[in-house]
């Protein structure tokens, strides 16, 4: 069976763990040459690279800070230098420190928006010239249900940034379409990443899963499959849209346990 990204060149930011790692591995499994970008977790990034290589895929690593213009330009340049083009950008890098508004500093706010929202803009802007030259591109931005659809105490800055991503893609698609470049988003719900496991104990995780219609938190791979679809030509007539991947979590009007 033909691999869905065979021969494509894909950049994945935040690829050292969690959702980004799952996306990088799946893109490589589907035939893409992957530039896996990480910020500080070199051990995790190396693990991503080794797992891709062990499965017969092709990937390279690059350390960069997506909140810095020069770094995002370095990312695009590296992809072209190593692999010759940029077909797919998956802007996934993000942070989610819990801070209540009354305790949140201006620096807290700026840091989260700089990485999560500004980083998305800068990565897209850096890759756009190559995509324009090719007259081809698929951009996938990882947003969240937190912000666009729901809220969590302590994540006002995160929710603002993730909601901003949705506004960004809806406007950007109007500019990018003439270059045969699509831009879409994925909105994950509760995903059982390494970071979430560090934040929540097993009892809390089980309580959350009781409120999810599919009765489990998402595996990062569940999100990666949506990001794969939006990176393929199967989605070539979809742009400015977002896919919710949450097992139905946002739909119940009242706690599900009241009806069981």
Per-residue pLDDT of the chain (260 residues; tens, 9 = 90+): 569 999 999 999 999 999 999 999 999 999 999 999 999 999 999 999 999 999 999 999 999 999 999 999 999 999 999 999 999 999 999 999 999 999 999 999 999 999 999 999 999 999 999 999 999 999 999 999 999 999 999 999 999 999 999 999 999 999 999 999 999 999 999 999 988 888 889 999 999 999 999 999 999 999 999 999 999 999 999 999 999 999 999 999 998 888 87
Q: Looking at the domain assignment, is residue 203 inside a domain?
A: no
**Could you list the active site residues?**
158
Name the domain count of the chain: 1
Q: Looking at the domain assignment, is residue 253 inside a domain?
A: no
Q: How many CB atoms lie within 10 A of CB 55?
A: 10
Q: CB–CB of 79/2 below 8 Å?
A: no
Q: Looking at the domain assignment, is residue 197 inside a domain?
A: no
Q: Looking at the domain assignment, is residue 170 inside a domain?
A: yes
Long-range contacts of the stretch 107-110 (C-beta < 8 A, 24+): 108/157, 109/157
Cα 229–chain centre separation: 13
pLDDT at 194: 87
Q: Looking at the domain assignment, is residue 184 inside a domain?
A: yes
Hey, what are 61's tokens? 């690593």
Q: Looking at the domain assignment, is residue 212 inside a domain?
A: no
Whole-model pTM above 0.95?
A: yes
Q: CB–CB of 156/104 below 8 Å?
A: yes
Q: Looking at the domain assignment, is residue 232 inside a domain?
A: yes
Q: Looking at the domain assignment, is residue 141 inside a domain?
A: yes
Buried b / exposed e along 157-178 (16+ C-beta atoms within 10 A): bbbebbbbbbebbbebbeebee
Q: CB–CB of 251/194 below 8 Å?
A: no
Q: CB–CB of 191/203 below 8 Å?
A: no
CATH number at residue 109: 3.40.50.720
Q: Which residue has the tokens 């070539």?
A: 236
Q: Which domain holds residue 28?
A: 9-190+218-246
């Amino acid at each position: 069976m033909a691999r869905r990204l065979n021969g494509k060149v894909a950049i994945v930011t935040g690829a050292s763990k969690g959702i980004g790692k799952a996306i990088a591995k799946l893109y490589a499994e589907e035939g893409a040459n992957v530039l896996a970008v990480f910020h500080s977790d070199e051990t995790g990034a190396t693990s991503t690279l080794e797992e891709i290589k062990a499965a017969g895929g092709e990937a390279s690593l690059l350390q960069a800070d997506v909140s810095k213009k020069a770094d995002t330009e370095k990312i695009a340049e590296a992809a072209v230098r190593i692999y010759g083009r940029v077909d797919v950008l998956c802007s996934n890098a993000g942070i989610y420190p819990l801070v209540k508004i009354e305790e949140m500093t201006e620096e807290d706010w700026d840091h989260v928006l700089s990485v999560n929202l500004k980083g998305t803009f800068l990565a897209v802007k850096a890759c756009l010239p190559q995509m324009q030259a090719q007259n081809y591109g698929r951009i996938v931005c990882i947003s969240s249900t937190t912000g666009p659809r729901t809220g969590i105490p302590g994540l006002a800055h995160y929710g603002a940034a993730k909601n901003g991503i949705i506004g960004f893609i809806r406007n950007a698609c109007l500019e990018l379409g003439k270059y045969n470049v699509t831009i879409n988003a994925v909105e994950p719900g509760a995903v059982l990443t390494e970071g979430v496991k560090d934040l929540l104990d097993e009892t809390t995780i089980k309580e959350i899963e009781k409120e999810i219609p599919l009765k489990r938190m998402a595996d990062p791979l569940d999100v990666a499959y949506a990001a794969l679809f939006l990176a393929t030509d199967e989605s070539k007539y979809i742009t400015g849209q977002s896919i919710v991947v949450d097992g139905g979590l946002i739909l119940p009007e009242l706690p599900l346990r009241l009806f069981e």
